[in-house]
Amino acid sequence: MNPAVERAVPELVELRIPSRPEWVALARLAAATVANRLHFSIEEIEDVKLAVAEACTAVIQHENHGEFIDLTCEALSDSLRVRVHDSGRHGTSASDSRAMDFDEARIAGLGIFLIRTLMDEVSYDVHAQLGTDLLMVKRLTGRPE
């Protein structure tokens, strides 16, 4: 059967994990499973796994992260949309201004660079009370229109 016919889209997968390092593997596995359903190539699935892991890692390494990370993977006909939500409060208190040391900043920058390189669309929505959303899109063609 044609995979495109077999697949009913859109499909939505939601996962809530504790904001702790030991749970990041589950988040990337979930995203990889949805990407596989969309018949991305193995290389593209690895890209999605790494981008999701980097997003979760960025949350965990933020001083004021929330208790949970909410991952939403939406399988569309032409793309995979991934939302990583952290309910932590950002930018509202003096403690948010904690300066990263050079090495922390360098690695955090590397993670963001990887997300931007591996995904086709990346956007942020930072809300002081509601937390932070990172939205990433991987197109099935692999290239933005």
Partner 1 sequence: MDIRVNVREAPGDCYVVDLSGEIDVYTSPKVKDAVGELIDRGVYHLVINLEKVRYIDSTGLGVLIGGLKRVREHGGSVNLVCTNPQIKKIFDITGLVKIFGIFDNEDAAMKALV
Q: Is 64 among the residues that bind partner 1 (CB under 8 A)? A: no
CB of residue 107 vs partner 1: minimum separation in angstroms? 4
Q: Which is nearer to partner 1, 6 or 43 (CB)?
A: 43
The residue assigned the tokens 């006909």 is 77
| Identity of the residue, 10 or 142, whose beta carbon is nearer to partner 1 in the bound complex | 142
57 makes contact with partner 1 (CB under 8 A):
yes
Helix (H) or strand (E) holding 138: strand 131-139
| Separation between Cα atoms, residue 59 and residue 102, nearest integer Å | 18
**64 within 8 A of 90, measured Cβ to Cβ:** yes
Residues numbered 85-104 forming contacts with partner 1, rule: CB under 8 A? 103
When the beta carbons of 110 and 130 are compared against partner 1, the nearer one is: 110
* Helical pair 24-37 and 42-60, crossing angle rounded to 10 deg: 150
22 near partner 1, judged by CB under 8 A: yes
- Residue 121 near residue 102 (C-beta atoms within 8 A): no
Nearer to partner 1, 24 or 30 (CB): 24
| Whole-angstrom distance, CA of residue 70 vs CA of residue 91 | 20
Structure tokens given for 58: 């960025």
Minimum CB separation from partner 1 for residue 98, in Å? 19
Which residues of the chain form contacts with partner 1 (CB under 8 A)?
21-22, 24-25, 43, 46, 49-50, 53-54, 56-57, 60-61, 103, 106-108, 110-111, 113-114, 117-118
